[in-house]
């Protein structure tokens, strides 16, 4: 079984990118240890700190963020980092080639109840003559990503990674290495599973309500087949299920705050997960256009997200087609 480094070298990846990905995995191993010890290490629970997203930070949010910062900023190839937990990016080596964007601990509301969480990351190349302490340096379309992936901290620690040549899965072994366990993951084209937070149903657009309503009617409705609903409230865990066995994951636009086109962040969640899903044969959309084609306007920009099995995403977009002209502005809000 190949280690992550051996696999990347055998696929002729740049040496600096290999070293960078290995350092991200070193960080994730540290985070996995902290999560495993949990209450024994006194790392559970919330702080009295609110992050830039307006969310109360968990102790492990802060710990995971600091682990990644410490391990990444001393690398020569890292020109800067941007974190969901930081107000502004942090510059690294001014001669560095790469920018790293990350959500250090996705799904952290699940920590205290011992449910799966994860780390999401995206790697971009520095554009010429940019100040990597300024958000503008990071505002690149999702299709410009060099690599993206996540580590799911579940019964095992699992890495799913793409460098633009498919999605490959690795598992953290007792030797401390991430070992290759599956190459070229493929999302089944059709599905009978969907993941969405039904408690927000009353706030959705009519088209989304109509679509989900038809899923719930199952074989008795227009879809003429039964669907199962799954919801973990950790994007990493929900997307991992989609990558593993198909499905559709949705966090759509709602009207609780019309100025925010969604709950999830484009740079830290939408883009890396969309890159992975498309590389595995699935689709990712705002319901009105491809997420990877959005021109980001600010580092903490939010986006509505629907991703997963190709046939189901196309069906979802058909439900929204009639409203596309009236709501196209949401794509770049």
Could you list the residues known to form a binding site for Mg(2+), using ranges: 84, 103, 105-106, 269
C-alpha dihedral, 239 to 268 to 276 to 32, nearest 10°: -60
Binding positions for substrate are 106-109, 197, 263
Q: Return the structure tokens found at 303.
A: 């986006």
Binding-site residue positions: 84, 103, 105-109, 197, 263, 269
Residues 6+ apart with CB under 8 A from 133: 80, 88, 89, 90, 91
Do 167 and 11 touch, CB atoms closer than 8 A?
Answer: no
Q: Which residues contact 103 (CB under 8 A, 6 or more apart)?
A: 83, 84, 119, 120, 121, 265, 268, 269
Closest residue by Cα to residue 292 from 313, 281, 278, 312: 278
Q: Where are the beta strands (DSSP E) in the chain?
A: 46-50, 56-58, 78-83, 90-91, 98-106, 117-125, 147-153, 157-162, 167-172, 178-182, 193-195, 228-229, 248-251, 264-265, 283-285, 302-303, 305-308
Which residue is listed with tokens 């410009």? Answer: 144
Question: Please, what's the b/e burial string for 158-168 (b: 16 or more CB within 10 A of its CB; e: otherwise)?
Answer: bbbbbbeebbb
Integer Cα distance of 65 and 310 in angstroms = 34
Are 267 and 296 in contact by the 8 Å Cβ rule? The answer is: yes
Angle subtended at Cα 160 by Cα 154 and Cα 164, rounded to the nearest 5 degrees: 165
Q: What gap in Å lies between CA 190 and CA 17, rounded to an integer?
A: 34
């Amino acid at each position: 079984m190949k280690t992550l480094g051996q696999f990347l070298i055998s696929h002729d990846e740049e040496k600096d990118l290999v070293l960078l990905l290995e350092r991200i995995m070193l960080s994730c191993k540290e985070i996995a240890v902290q999560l495993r010890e949990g209450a024994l290490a006194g790392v559970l629970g919330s702080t009295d700190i609110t992050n830039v997203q307006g969310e109360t930070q968990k102790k492990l949010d802060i710990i995971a963020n600091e682990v990644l910062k410490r391990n990444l900023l001393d690398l020569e190839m890292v020109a800067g980092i941007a974190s969901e937990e930081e107000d502004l990016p942090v510059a690294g080596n001014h001669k560095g080639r790469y920018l790293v964007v990350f959500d250090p601990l996705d799904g952290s509301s699940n920590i205290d109840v011992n449910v799966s969480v994860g780390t999401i990351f995206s790697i971009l190349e520095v554009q010429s003559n940019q100040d990597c302490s300024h958000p503008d340096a990071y505002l690149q379309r999702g299709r410009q990503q060099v690599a993206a992936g996540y580590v799911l901290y579940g019964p095992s620690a699992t890495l799913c990674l793409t460098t633009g040549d498919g999605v490959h899965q690795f598992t953290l072994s007792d030797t401390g290495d991430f070992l290759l366990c599956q190459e070229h993951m493929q999302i089944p084209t059709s599905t009978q599973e969907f993941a969405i937070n039904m408690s927000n149903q009353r706030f959705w657009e009519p088209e989304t309500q109509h679509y989900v309503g038809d899923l719930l009617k199952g074989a008795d409705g227009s879809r003429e087949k039964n669907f199962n609903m799954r919801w973990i409230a950790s994007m990493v865990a929900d997307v991992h299920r989609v990558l593993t066995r198909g499905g559709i994951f949705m966090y759509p636009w709602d009207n609780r705050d019309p100025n925010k086109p969604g709950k999830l962040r484009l740079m830290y969640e939408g883009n890396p997960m969309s890159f992975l899903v498309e590389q595995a044969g699935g689709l990712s959309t705002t319901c009105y256009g491809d997420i990877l084609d959005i021109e980001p306007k600010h580092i903490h920009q939010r986006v509505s997200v629907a991703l997963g099995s190709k046939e189901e995403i196309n069906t979802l977009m058909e439900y929204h087609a009639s409203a596309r002209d009236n709501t196209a502005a949401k794509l770049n809000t």
